[in-house]
Amino acid sequence: MVLAQTFHQFSTGAMGGVAQVALHAAIAAYLIAAVISLVAVFAPGKAKMAWADWTGAAGTISLLLYFAARVHEAGPAPLQNLFEVLALSALCLAVAYFAATRLKPMPLLGAFVFPALATVFLVSFLFVGSALQEAPEALRPLIALHVLLTIMAYGVFFMAAVAACLFLMQERALKRRHASRLARNLPPLESLRKLLGQCMWIGLGLLSAGFVLGFGGFPPAQWPVLALTPKVMTALVLWLVLLAIAGARLAGWLHGRKLSYMVLVGFSLVLVTYVGLALTVRAQQSARVATITEKP
């Protein structure tokens, strides 16, 4: 009920007609794709996964249309609240999924990605109306790019986490010599290993670029102050952790199962930082609103 009310408030807000239709279509498509792909897990069939992929693709196109409409409505800064940030993360995950599966078909990967996308949307409703922290007007494009790259990195890390989960499941099934229907339909271990590695490096690259642009969005004089803010410090720690994981993999210290566990730990940190920061921003906004209201 609360979710429905939030959704109603959101969809009848400042958004235009095209964006509204596109967003509704995207959410519906991802939910349908999630259901079809979950059915495909228990009753595997190429046709079912193909339907899930087509529905998911329709959802992704609708989401792209939504952002196009938002750019048209709101100008160069369409990300005006955390809902939109999460929606963009979902879009990045979807794009990463389609890119990965077009390069190398991986059956049943969608059964994990589409439910994840649907969940991201459901979670994102919690953040309707929370505005983003504003940057100086002149530096907005850099900040927008920083936000975009960071969100893309989160999307790619999400994909790495999915690959790590599937790797652990497949590896366990192969080691235990137990071939459940699910295990038999998972992508090959080698594909998951490669996908995990690629997503980790791409994600780290995007995150690093996002950092540089983030600092570039503010005057150099503000950098020392900026670096000491909890948000930036947390993000820096996260970046160092992810860099350490990637470095350990490169040095051959982390591999196979251990690497997958570490990627999941890294992604959990991403998630905690992401949600933690969002909640902090929300709390700060609430406090500001309360102060303004109290003033005569």
Partner 1 sequence: MNRFVILGISHKFAPLEVRERLAYSDRRVPMALRTLREAGCDEVAILSTCNRVEVIAFTAEPGARAKILSVLATDHAFAPDYLDKHCYFHRGPEAVTHLLRVAGGLDSLVLGETQVLNQVKRAYLMAQSENATGKALNALFHKAFHVAKRLHHETDISRGQLSISSVAVSYVDRVFEDLHKKTALLIGAGEVGELTLTYLRERNVGRVIIMSRTLERAREVATRFGGDAVPMDLLEDYLPAADIVVSQTSSETPVLNGATFARSQRKRGWSPVLALDLAVPRDIARDAAEVEGVFLYNVDDLEEVVAEHAMARSRELEHCHAIIRQEAAEFVAGFHVLAAGPLITQLRARAEAAKQAELARLAHVLDQLPDAARQEVAAFADRVVNKLLHPHIAALRAEAAHATPEDLRRAARLLGLESEAPAGQPAEQPAAPVQLPVEKSP
Smallest distance from partner 1 to CB 194, Å? 8
Our CB check for partner 1 shows the closer of 112 and 121 to be 112
Q: Does 282 bind partner 1 (CB under 8 A)?
A: no
Q: Does 61 bind partner 1 (CB under 8 A)?
A: no
CA angle 277, 281, 285 (to 5 degrees): 170
Q: Does 41 bind partner 1 (CB under 8 A)?
A: no
- Interatomic CA distance for residues 37 and 73, integer angstroms: 34
- Interatomic CA distance for residues 245 and 153, integer angstroms: 15
Smallest distance from partner 1 to CB 144, Å? 38
- Residue 110: name the closest of 179, 206, 44 by CA: 44
Number of residues that bind partner 1 (CB under 8 A): 22
The whole-angstrom distance between residue 188's C-alpha and the CA centroid of its chain comes to: 24
Pick from 50, 179, 233, 287 the residue near partner 1 by CB under 8 A: 179
Q: Does 102 bind partner 1 (CB under 8 A)?
A: no
- Residue 100: name the closest of 179, 14, 202, 217 by CA: 202
Q: Which of residues 114-173 bind partner 1 (CB under 8 A)?
A: 170, 173
Pick from 177, 221, 292, 293 the residue near partner 1 by CB under 8 A: 177
Q: 225: which 2 tokens? A: 């102050």
Our CB check for partner 1 shows the closer of 16 and 256 to be 256
Q: Does 189 bind partner 1 (CB under 8 A)?
A: yes
3-state helix, strand, coil in the chain (%, to 5): 85, 0, 15
Q: Does 190 bind partner 1 (CB under 8 A)?
A: yes
Taking residues 249 to 268 in sequence order and writing x for each that binds partner 1 by CB under 8 A, - otherwise, the string is ---x--xxx-----------
The whole-angstrom distance between residue 44's C-alpha and the CA centroid of its chain comes to: 27
Q: 208: which 2 tokens? A: 């690093």
